[in-house]
């Protein structure tokens, strides 16, 4: 191990330098063993042999290793399995850069962080090249086959600032599904333009092309035309209009002094045990408030069937399907990671971050189920049989 001057160095710097030396020693030892095994396994009669070393640098998680000795053979055939011939970074460094980018750290700031770790500048071009490898994964992920059957699909959009000559807000359409067993999954995301029902129709058609056939329920807000677009793609599915959005919109039109009481009365409607009880509770609300808020209550009456659809489903899963909160919490995290970048230089930059976030969520969600779906599984199976002639729940 090499020695270094410890004068005026703090403990963190000393530890970093120490790890660099230890890592250099271990890497060089592995390289010597590799070439020894390669030469030993050559056919008898070959005249290949060791031919000294060449020096190179390698960026690692512990900083930059300088003057590392890489062994050579006479024929020039030896290639270590640890890194490519012209690779100057170990994979962990690239992964760190991608992880930073995933969490919304801008390219310039990533460069500063890498400089503090490695002691040398990483150009914005280099960092962009590293994160650009993610785009291949994005394309493959967006085309991946999907499951045939989902208990519910949640549709929601968020908006992100993207530069196209000038900076403007672009819609990010996101679809989240729940399997009958209770696993959440982000099925896809699509960036561009403004949110429209035609945009959603294209996305829903894409889901069908990728394998989604049987859906029990679509959960979304009241965007004009969205319900029709959903029913066109999945005509046998129910629609659940988001209760939370509806209550919020209604209360904005109610006088402030009435808001708390009006809100509590509406809660009696959507917290009922059954659809019939909810209708009775709504009639009470209508009788109490119709003189002051007849227009708002008329809208509720017209939409009651799609606002209370969730009451036709098992009680153990209702808390997940009566609102878009499930997907909005996910979108909040996506928005937080995008927001730190202020405005994105292009659509691809947004896609990279959203993909990395979505893939991370899907990996975590695959390991756990939402509570209550095991209890509801038999009931859900019967619903699939009635609507689609299915005789089992697919994994």
Whether residue 71 is found in the same domain as residue 119: no
134-167 residue pLDDT tens: 678 888 999 999 999 999 999 999 887 776 667 7
Categorize the per-residue pLDDT at 360 as very low, low, confident or very high, splitting at 50, 70 and 90.
confident
How many Cβ atoms are within 10 Å of 133's Cβ, its own excluded? 11
Averaged over 346-371, what is the pLDDT? 86
Q: What is the DSSP string of 6-51?
A: -TT--HHHHHHHHHHHHHHHHHHHHHHHHHHHHHHTSPTT----EE
Domain boundary among 62, 97, 132: 132
Total structural domains in the chain?
3
pLDDT band, residue 374 (cuts 50/70/90): very high
In 20-165, beta strands by DSSP E:
50-60, 63-73, 149-164
Same domain, 66 and 106: no
Q: Are residues 187 and 82 in the same domain?
A: no
pTM (2 d.p.): 0.69
- Determine the pLDDT at residue 161: 76
Reading across the β-sheet that carries 214-220, which strands appear in turn?
A: 184-191, 166-178, 149-164, 214-220, 238-241
Q: Is residue 182 part of a domain?
A: yes
The domain in which residue 302 lies consists of: 146-388
**Model pLDDT for residues 276-317, shown as the tens digit of each residue:** 999 999 999 999 999 999 999 999 999 999 999 999 999 999
Whether 141 is in a domain gets the answer no
Q: What's residue 353's pLDDT?
A: 79
Residues 170 and 219 in one domain: yes
The average confidence (pLDDT) of the chain is: 81
Q: Quick one: DSSP state of residue 344?
A: B
Is the domain of 168 the same as that of 33? no
In which band, very low, low, confident or very high, does the pLDDT at 130 lie, cut at 50, 70 and 90? low
- In angstroms, rounded to a whole number, what is the distance separating the alpha carbons of residues 244 and 246? 5
Same structural domain, 294 and 233 = yes
Average pLDDT over residues 186-204: 90
Please indicate, yes or no, whether residues 93 and 15 belong to a single structural domain of this protein.
no
Distance of CA 139 to the CA centre of its chain: 14
138 in a structural domain = no
Q: How far apart are CA 70 and CA 93, in angstroms?
A: 20
**Quick check: 273 pLDDT over 80?**
yes
pLDDT at 365 over 60: yes
Instruction: Tell me: do 39 and 20 sit in the same domain.
Output: yes
Q: Is residue 139 part of a domain?
A: no
Do 202 and 350 lie in one domain? The reply is: yes
Q: Average pLDDT of 361-366?
A: 92
Phi first, then psi: give them for residue 55, nearest 5 degrees.
-100, 145
Per-residue model confidence (pLDDT) at position 3: 46
137 falls within a domain: no
Percent of the chain's residues with pLDDT above 90? 47
pLDDT at 91: 42
Question: Does 395 map to a domain?
Answer: no
Whether residue 231 sits in one domain with residue 265: yes
Calculate the alpha carbon distances from 81 to 48, 70, 170 in Å.
19, 12, 44
Look at the block and give the residue holding tokens 């299915």: 390
Q: Is residue 50 part of a domain?
A: yes
Tally of CB atoms within 10 A around 349? 24
Q: What distance in Å separates the CA atoms of residue 200 and residue 12, rounded to the nearest whole number?
A: 52
Residue 68 lies in a domain: yes
Residue in the structure block whose two tokens are 């640098």: 57
Q: Are residues 229 and 306 in the same domain?
A: yes
Do 363 and 281 lie in one domain? The reply is yes
């Amino acid at each position: 191990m090499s020695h270094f001057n410890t004068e005026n160095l703090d403990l963190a710097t000393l530890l970093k330098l120490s790890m660099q030396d230890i890592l250099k020693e271990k890497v060089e030892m592995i390289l010597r063993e590799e070439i020894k095994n390669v030469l030993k396994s050559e056919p008898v009669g070959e005249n290949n042999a060791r031919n000294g070393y060449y020096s190179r640098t390698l960026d690692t998680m512990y900083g930059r290793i300088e003057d590392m000795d890489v062994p050579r053979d006479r024929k020039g055939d030896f290639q270590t399995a640890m890194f490519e011939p012209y690779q100057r970074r170990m994979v962990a460094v690239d992964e760190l850069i991608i992880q930073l980018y995933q969490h919304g750290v801008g390219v310039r700031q990533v460069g500063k962080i890498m400089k503090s770790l490695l002691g040398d500048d990483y150009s914005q071009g280099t960092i962009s090249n590293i994160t650009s490898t993610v785009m291949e994964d994005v394309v493959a992920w967006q085309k991946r086959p999907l499951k045939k059957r989902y208990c519910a699909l949640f549709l929601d959009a968020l908006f992100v600032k993207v530069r196209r000559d000038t900076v403007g807000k672009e819609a990010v359409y996101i679809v989240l599904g729940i399997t009958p067993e209770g696993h959440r999954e982000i099925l896809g995301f699509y960036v561009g333009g403004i949110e429209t029902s035609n945009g959603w129709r294209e996305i829903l058609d894409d889901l069908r092309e990728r394998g989604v056939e049987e859906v029990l329920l679509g959960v979304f807000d009241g965007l004009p035309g969205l319900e029709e677009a959903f029913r066109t793609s999945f005509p046998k599915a129910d629609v659940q209009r988001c209760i939370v959005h509806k209550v919020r919109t209604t209360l904005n039109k109610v006088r402030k002094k009435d808001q708390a009481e009006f809100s509590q009365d509406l809660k009696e409607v959507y917290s009922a045990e059954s659809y019939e009880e909810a209708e009775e509770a709504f009639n009470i609300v209508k009788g109490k408030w119709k003189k002051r808020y007849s227009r708002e209550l008329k809208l509720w009456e017209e939409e009651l069937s799609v606002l209370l659809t969730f009451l036709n489903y098992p009680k153990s899963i209702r808390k997940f399907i009566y609102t878009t909160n499930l997907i909005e919490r996910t979108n909040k995290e996506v928005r937080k990671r995008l927001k730190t970048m202020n405005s994105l230089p292009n659509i691809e930059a947004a896609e990279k971050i959203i993909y990395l976030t979505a893939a991370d969520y899907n990996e975590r969600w695959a390991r756990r189920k939402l509570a209550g779906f095991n209890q509801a599984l038999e009931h859900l199976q019967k619903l699939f049989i009635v609507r689609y002639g299915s005789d089992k729940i697919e994994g």
